[in-house]
Amino acid sequence: MTSRLLVALCTVIVLGIGGGAVARATGQTSTPPAPVTVSRAAFPITVATGEYDLINVVANLAPGSGVPWHYHSGPVVGTVISGEATLLSREVGEKTIKAGQSWIEKPNEVGEFINRSSGYTYIVATYLVPKGAPPTTFVK
């Protein structure tokens, strides 16, 4: 490789790697790409006045695992990030929740959430519970 070609190649690599730093140093900025909304769900809730704990849980459910019959002391909003799971309750019956879909559990609504698929399911669940109350109570 000739030295002129090597210098040109190094210049392209340095500009490609350090171009952002050069742009920032000279006051030129480029706008990073905006986030892409994959899923959005809105659920109306009514809560009494007082203090609450906002609890956020990220869970990985192995095939066959889940949360057995239970209820929450406040509303819960959940989203399946990957995989799918089945929600069972007296109010909604049986419903399969797939990646990108959300669900809500009302206070004191008894239900079960289980991964019946052959793969792992990742979920995010956010609880709004009265301060000091147990977020989840299991039903025997």
Q: Within this chain, do residues 60 and 127 fall inside the same structural domain, yes or no?
A: yes
* pLDDT value for 90: 86
Q: Within this chain, do residues 119 and 67 fall inside the same structural domain, yes or no?
A: yes
User: For 12-32, how does the pLDDT look when each residue is reduced to its tens digit (9 = 90+)?
Assistant: 344 444 445 545 555 667 888
**Is 40 within the bounds of a domain?**
no
* pLDDT value for 87: 96
**Is 76 within the bounds of a domain?**
yes
**Is 111 within the bounds of a domain?**
yes
Is the pLDDT reported for residue 5 higher than 50?
no
Is the pLDDT reported for residue 86 higher than 70?
yes
* pLDDT value for 31: 87
Residue 70 belongs to domain spanning: 52-138
**Is 44 within the bounds of a domain?**
no
Kindly give, in sequence order, each residue whose CB lies less than 8 Å from that of residue 31, ignoring residues fewer than 6 positions away. Answer: none
Count helices and strands in the chain by DSSP H and E runs: 1, 9
Q: Which of 62, 40, 41, 52 minimizes the C-alpha distance to 123? A: 62
User: For 31-76, how does the pLDDT look when each residue is reduced to its tens digit (9 = 90+)?
Assistant: 889 888 887 888 888 888 899 999 999 999 999 999 999 999 999 9
Q: Within this chain, do residues 66 and 108 fall inside the same structural domain, yes or no?
A: yes
| Tally of structural domains, the chain | 2
- What is the spatial distance between Cα 135 and Cα 71, in angstroms, rounded to a whole number? 8
**Is 95 within the bounds of a domain?**
yes
Q: Within this chain, do residues 59 and 110 fall inside the same structural domain, yes or no?
A: yes
pTM reported for the whole predicted model: 0.71
